[in-house]
Homo-oligomer: A and B are copies of this chain.
Amino acid sequence: MTRFHNKLHADKTGRELFVEAALDAAGSVDNGFRFRDAGALFVGNFTSDVFEGQGHTAAVMADWLGVNPVPAYRIEDACASSGAALNLGVMAIASGMTDAVIVGGVEKMSRLTTDQVTDALALAADSSYETSVGFTFPAIYAAIASAYFNKYGTGWDQLAAVTIKNHRNGALNPKAQFQSEIASIAQKLGERDGRTFKDEMEFLWSDFNPTIASPLRLFDCCPVSDGAAAVILAADEVARRYTDTPVKIAGMGQASDTIALHSRPDFTTLRAAVKASEDAYKMAGATPKDIQVADVHDCFTIAEVVATEDLGFFPKGQGGRAAEEGRTALNGEIPINPDGGLKAKGHPVGATGAAMAYEIFKQLRGQAGKHQVQGAETGLAHNVGAAGASVTVQVFRRG
């Protein structure tokens, strides 16, 4: 994957970022992989149409990779676009049409202003009944947070704990957009000693962290990012030609839910995440207890809390407390977002699902560097489109 960033890639187009990620993927294959070994290309992308004035995105990427005439498919499921692309890549191989494919994701968002990006992202919500009345994603996830606090009697401190944990992880990840702990941000701004968790919490409660959509503050929201990520998928017997230590997609699921939040009986759970994970666990013959590392979709901090419950890691209403207690930290019982998550790693939306697969691949092979989860053999990726109208889950196993 490329580094995720909002300024670093100012001079690069989406196609350039995608090629950089695909070269990294091919170069990571122990015994080498030529792009032409792939029988198809799947590209997850939300809206290069709006972000870059370029559609027909998969054909552009196929051309720039030099893989013509290989068929190229752009998959769009909002922020779950490359999670969905990954599942379709698996199906293409399982169908017998091909035995190896390139799956990637890309988004070049920073050409637009933050206001324009918010509007562009709102295309993923319901244009008829949500965005047309100003209900964009910060507000949608704020409604989820409010409902959650109300139902479980919890509060914003638990979300701040997620922020602190993800920034701590991001500081260890050279691919992350933000590589600063909240402590050092506080120190830089000269406002706090910023040495302890308590200092960090105080900083996040201060005016330096303004409200975006109550109860969500600036540091509850993932940033605007440019970036790309890619993986090579191959049939089991073919993968062993390329490496002695492949990572297997042992199970996968995808589910949909109503596009509008207001159509759902309960805001404090994403039904599609529950269904997609049930399907993935079943296919993998696994349970939540088997998962040793997970990348979950924390576009907003509340989303991580809800995800860790929907995926079965914690009972409903206890995901926030678990974060507060350090149970999801890098050295916790179930490390969540060791790469910093969307919050600190960044969220070039169409690239995120592929970047999660990248992270879990590195983790299960013991190549995650400073943010390595020791000894992890089974991992999970959870990629969400909009407020859960599309969710994909994959269970990965080493070997």
* Chain A residues within 8 Å of B, Cβ to Cβ: 13, 15, 41, 46-47, 49-50, 52-60, 62-63, 67-78, 84, 87-88, 90-97, 123-128, 131, 254-260, 263, 271-272, 275-276, 385-386, 389-390
Contacts and interface: CB of A to CB of B under 8 A. Distances in A.
A299 to B, nearest CB: 14
A54 B123 contact: yes
A57 B385 CA distance: 11
Contacts of A57: 76
Contacts of A78: 55-56, 59
Contacts of A56: 76-78, 123-125, 259, 385-386, 389-390
Copies in the complex: 2
A57 B46 CA distance: 10
The DSSP consensus for interface residues of chain A is mixed
Contact of A77 (B59, B127, B258): B59
Nearest to A40: B254
Contact of A58 (B54, B68, B76, B94): B76
Given A59-B389, A254-B71, A385-B59, A50 B52 contact: no
6 contacts: A46-B55, A56-B124, A59-B389, A73-B77, A91-B95, A94-B97
B97 A91 contact: yes
A259 B15 CA distance: 12
Contacts of A263: 63
Q: Max chain B CB contacts within 10 Å: which of A41, A63, A73, A254?
A: A73
Given A84-B73, A88-B88, A256-B70, A390 B47 contact: no
The 6 A-B residue pairs whose C-beta atoms are closest, nearest first, are A55-B123, A94-B95, A71-B254, A59-B389, A69-B255, A91-B95
Contact of A69 (B90, B260, B272): B272
B256 A67 contact: yes
A60 B123 CA distance: 11
Contacts of A75: 73-76
B390 A72 contact: yes
A376 to B, nearest CB: 27
